[in-house]
Structure 1
């Protein structure tokens, strides 16, 4: 046994240090045996380290990258760009696709091969993480004829519903400089709202498509969990990872969804995906001459508890209810009624507990979940070991991130088993919502609780910064953990509390059954085509 132990690179000190993590000590008489047994891990590891990684291919002939660069000072409208690049298919067949002529921005946590992902942070060196392949959604939009023109800036590790946490610069609301554009898909929302791009692909773990859509006055859809593949996108927690379309109009939203939705060979989030999927844009286009008919016979429920959340601006409550009731003017057979969903009030707590450990361990510390799919080892390695400098950098720009880092460990240590219980309750929440769709076609809640507020300053203390974000996702996060599709639709303009001379957008949230995107799109299209949200 002793001779075999000499071949092990695993020392007794390392063995006991590892055992101490579990509050145990390996008995002295067994040390040599474990050193030999565990040396097999080293042998397996050395074998794999010599092997080339197995990642999706990158077709630079079909999808060449041109002019990759960080935007220069003075060339970054609203501070909304992370990186610029031009990618357009060389295939004439691709260029005649559904997205022909459309310019797209891609959120900066989405892989574009050979283009750095900054992830909105300086915890890892900007430019140090360069993906080697394209995310599935990127390949799909390029194959449909779109031109990808850059990566939209996102919030620090995508962990903020506000737009001042990006380590490079705060993204500004295109309607009012200095005001919050929402997060974490802040750059994408600002670029679409200002008309710099036609469309964008954002990401959403708690409201990160819908909140910036609400603040910037665009259409933002978080699809059903798994409908759009997440392959090649930096994850926060696989149970709430969503990616989806951000557009100016509902019809464009349906068009982009039609291109990016569907089964992907890599993503194990795609549970229960129906085949075939609706042709969302084609189905919606049938109502072009009579948009009211899109909601013929619809029954719409307004979730009463969604208006009882703390911090909701009474003016937002009034506008959302007015906009919801307006559906009844689109046809005698359209009904709108208030409904009580008591569990909706508990949903933010379910989301918080269910995700906090994953955000901390996986999203921030690179502890990859044991699940199938494509994994980005370089990013995992960059996040493995935290130090004081990294913590201080994140705390300075985004205390929500350091709060999640600490909170995940607290949940794990102080409340063992509670994350598992929260995930069970998430299934109950999903069942609760989906039972309602036996009676209703669409549910309605407010989206963001207020119009955009004034952005925070770098020198503000933690509580001042956090006060801008607390409560923002209380009506959006529930549908991340339930997995239901949800959209922010612009319905009005209101003055922010900080400046009564301004008008900023307000969004209404429309929610559907699992894989019920078409019902949401029909309702949103009918409303959009019959009412002018800027003067509603």
Structure 2
């Protein structure tokens, strides 16, 4: 590595040099101290030059997309709003777009310029950080004619499949107060399911779109890795970052994905995108007159290992199998077969090790030095130093976050190279899924192990809080590390064990080939239009 220029004066002290060297458990030989002081003083001069420059972010068009009524709501249905705002394009062309007339909520880890992002946490400075630009997905839904009504509350740092870790209030399931709405896109799910918006943009690193969709009776799609740009969204670990649509119907989901998909020129996750991107809406609309024809002749595989995961409610296993096999009754040549993907049983462990160091260093400490794209500098600075107060705040609300913080450092220190190996095994896992997807159009698994459980309490101890989340993403997280598209489709209502008089939604997960969203939509549409999930 070259040195651009030598410093005008030596500013780097001997003490700074030794402190820096101590991080690596080394001592700089005395004969070399002055040389390093000179070289590092040159680096410090460059650092001060950059620190004095104005940051770059994508331009924010407040004329075309004006912000109105930015505020924290005084009354908050289901505790689902983080911030309210009204944004609608002033362009006549946008008003005729795909999403014209639709109202949208945006997950609170997604940047809306001039609107605070709380990230569900009180660890960052009070009031969150205020982005100065819109995430690509926000610009795209506005350009498509939608009206953005605000930010859906999310779980604390988006690190929970439950809906009771947000520092500003537990998000409630619209089907039953006090019950879990799922996470981490909890507010988005509650807002759509409760009829307060038509659709929402969620985020998913281990199931954070599909879990709340399953618990709240929604269609929630985690697209293929990179299909929808992640620009302007707080990251947990870049290898599993996904964003996608949450809607009440399959057709609305296809509509929304059509508006959001495609390269944006910023996000380096967008590798190997198909050209052109399919118009999912047009392709699905062809079957509006006879929906079952959408899946004509499809071969569908039930991953048997997914039904044998620990902690699955036997009633969920039976209902998902029944729902899948019901497709064979549509009379259009659909076959449903039980298949084996042995590595699926190890996939949760692969996801855990592949992501834990990234969650710790990247998601919680803001260390993101090797990524292209747009960096949220102010957020990363606020996360760069942890102290006891921050740790205690996070632990009291979301021990999954502090567990990730500690666990990532533990893996780094005790198992060097293991994260790299797990990422490599994620590629092997993808190969195994793709091998069976050469024979089958889509694969099916249970989404969540059970219907929603009752929420925790702030005063509960760590293990009581964690017990509500353990195993929830056992069948969803594998497809984050493999990158395959996966959807939760509501297929039944079921009683939670605490209250046999209550009925809550249950989702079935449909998985496709990379960039095979259209096949998922076809199967989901055929099922949705042929059966009533609330009485199935």
TM over 0.5: yes
How many angstroms apart in 2 are the aligned matches of 1:299 and 1:126?
A: 52
The 8 Å contact of residues 7 and 42 in structure 2, kept in 1 or not, is answered as: no
Q: Is the 8 A contact 1:15 1:35 kept in 2?
A: yes
- 1:436 pairs with 2:436: yes
Contact (CA 8 Å) 1:153, 1:186: kept in 2 or not? Answer: yes
Instruction: Compute the displacement of 1:7 (Å).
Output: 2.2
CA shift, 1:28, in A, is 1.7
Deviation at 1:150, TM superposition (A): 0.2
What pairs up with 1:45-84 in 2 under 5 angstroms?
45-72=47-74, 75-84=75-84
1:235 aligns with: 235
* 1:41-440 superposed matches below 5 A: 41-72=43-74, 75-440=75-440
- Deviations 1:373-400, CA, capped at 9 Å, x for gaps: 0111000100000000000000000000
Which shifted more, 431-440 or 250-259?
A: 431-440
Take 2:20 and 2:72, find their aligned partners in 1: how far apart are those partners? 43
1:16 aligns with 2:18: yes
C-alpha displacement of 1:330: 1.2
1:117-152 per-residue CA deviation (whole Å, 9 max, x = no partner) reads 000000012424000000000000000100000000
- In structure 2, how many angstroms separate the alpha carbons of the residues matched to 1:49 and 1:410? 32
The secondary structure found in structure 2 opposite 1:206 is coil
Match of 1:27 among 23, 26, 29: 29
SS at match of 2:287: coil
For 1:335 and 1:286, how far apart are their aligned partners in 2?
Answer: 22
Change (3 A) 1:95 1:6: closer
Q: Secondary structure at the match of 2:93?
A: helix
SS in structure 1 at match of 2:384:
coil
How far apart are 1:535 and its partner, in Å? 0.3
Contact 2:125–2:382 (CA under 8 A) maintained in structure 1 = no
Tell me, in whole angstroms, the C-alpha distance in 2 between the residues paired with 1:498 and 1:126: 37
| C-alpha distance after superposition, 1:29-88 (max 9, x if no partner) | 21111010011111111111222111100000000000000011xx21000000000000
In 2, Cα distance between equivalents of 1:107 and 1:150: 9
CA distance 1:332–1:529, change in 2 (3 Å): closer
Query: Contact (CA 8 Å) 1:5, 1:32: kept in 2 or not?
Result: no
The answer to whether the 8 Å contact 2:119/2:128 transfers is no
1:419-453 Cα shifts (integer Å, max 9, x gaps): 01001100000111011111100100000100000
**SS at the partner of 1:501?**
coil
* CA distance in 1 between partners of 2:129 and 2:67 (Å): 17
Task: For residue 272 of structure 1, give the secondary structure of its aligned residue in structure 2.
Answer: coil
Partner of 2:39 in structure 1?
Answer: 37
Query: Residues 173-229 of structure 1: CA distance to partner in whole angstroms, max 9, x if unpaired?
Result: 000000000000000000000110000000000000000000000000000000000
* 8 Å CA contact 2:292, 2:332 repeated in 1: no
Q: 2: distance between equivalents of 1:434 and 1:159?
A: 28
Counterpart Cα distance in 1 of 2:332 and 2:262: 36
**Runs of 4 or more above 6 Å deviation:** none
Q: What SS does the corresponding residue of 1:92 show, helix, strand or coil?
A: coil
Shift of 1:369: 3.7
DSSP-derived class of the 1:151 partner: strand
* 2: CA distance, partners of 1:210 / 1:415: 31
Instruction: List runs of 5+ in structure 2 lacking aligned partners.
Output: 1-5
- Are the equivalent residues in 2 in contact too, given 1:101–1:147 (CA < 8 A)? yes
* RMSD over equivalenced CA pairs, Å: 0.9
SS of 2:177's equivalent in the other structure is: strand
Give the conservation status (yes or no) of the 8 Å contact 1:300–1:440: yes
Write the distance in 2 (CA, Å) between the matches of 1:285 and 1:5.
65
Show CA shifts across 1:458-513 (max 9, x none): 00000000000000001000000000000000000000011111000000000000
Name the CA distance, whole Å, in 2 between partners of 1:496 and 1:476: 20
Deviation at 1:12, TM superposition (A): 1.1
Matched-pair contact (CA < 8 Å) for 1:5–1:35: no
SS in 1 for 2:480: helix
Match of 2:472 in 1: 472
The answer to whether the 8 A contact 2:293-2:332 is kept is no
Q: Secondary structure at the match of 2:458?
A: coil
Mapped to 2, the partners of 1:461 and 1:63 lie a distance apart of 45
Displacement of 1:5 in angstroms is 8.8
The Cα shift of 1:6 comes to 9.3
Task: Tell me the TM-score normalised to structure 1 length.
Answer: 0.98
Q: Quick check: 12-21 or 171-180, which moved more?
A: 12-21
Question: What's the secondary structure of 1:329's corresponding residue?
Answer: helix
How much does 1:9 deviate? 2.2
CA distance in 2 between partners of 1:371 and 1:129 (Å) = 21
Q: Distance in 1 between matches of 2:16 and 2:182?
A: 46
User: For the residues of structure 2 that align with 1:221 and 1:17, how far apart are their CA atoms?
Assistant: 48
User: How many Å separate the matches in 2 of 1:317 and 1:333?
Assistant: 24
Cα distance in 1 for partners of 2:514, 2:224 equals: 6
Q: Residues of 2 paired with 1:258 and 1:150: CA distance?
A: 21
Given that 1:316 and 1:449 are in contact with CA atoms closer than 8 Å, whether structure 2 keeps it comes out as yes
Whole-Å Cα distance in 1 between the matches of residues 464 and 512 of structure 2? 35
Aligned 8 A contact 2:295 2:332 in 1: no
